[in-house]
Amino acid sequence: MQTTVVERVLHDHVEMHARLSDWKAALGLLASPAFAESQRGLQKLWQLVPFFEKEVARHFREEENDLYPLIEAEHAASHPLLTRFAGEHAEFNRQWQAYKRELLYCDAVGETHRVLELGAAIVQLLRQHMSREEAELLPLVVKS
């Protein structure tokens, strides 16, 4: 079971890194001064919403329900670490909701600044989060 959980987490991380690259590229298009390019970027950003809406939520749920209990059962001192990672999940969800509101506003009035700012921040947040999980959490499962 432990290997399966770790394999699922790592598989999800690979997929998320690919979608984050797509997101960053779409933000680059949105920032273009050329209207057609900017509109293409906006369209691509909307196409990414279902993935981040559903798959990231599923991934976080699986980590918190499957991975965290494995770690906590073998490493009693891990509770603060797991709490920090769960807090990062909550922070992503908070920023994601703000991003979606700004994406709607951008689509309605063409103001891109906040979408670009929030989008870049969330991409960085998720990349750092996954990197820390792989460095700090997953080795605890492998060692147990």
The gap from C-alpha 116 to its chain's centroid, in whole angstroms, comes to: 16
Could you tell me the pTM of the whole model?
A: 0.93
At the fourth CATH level, which superfamily is domain 2-143? nmb1532 protein domain like (1.20.120.520)
Q: Where are the domains of the chain?
A: 2-143
Band of the pLDDT at 53, cuts 50, 70, 90? Answer: very high
- Is a pLDDT exceeding 90 seen at residue 32? yes
What distance in Å separates the CA atoms of residue 27 and residue 87, rounded to the nearest whole number? 26
The tens digit of pLDDT for each residue in 80-138 reads: 999 999 999 999 999 999 999 999 999 999 999 999 999 999 999 999 999 999 999 99
47 or 74, which is more confident? Answer: 47
Is residue 120 within 8 Å of residue 28, measured between CB atoms? Answer: no
Helices (H), the chain: 2-30, 35-50, 56-62, 68-74, 79-109, 113-132, 138-143
What distance in Å separates the CA atoms of residue 67 and residue 35, rounded to the nearest whole number? 45
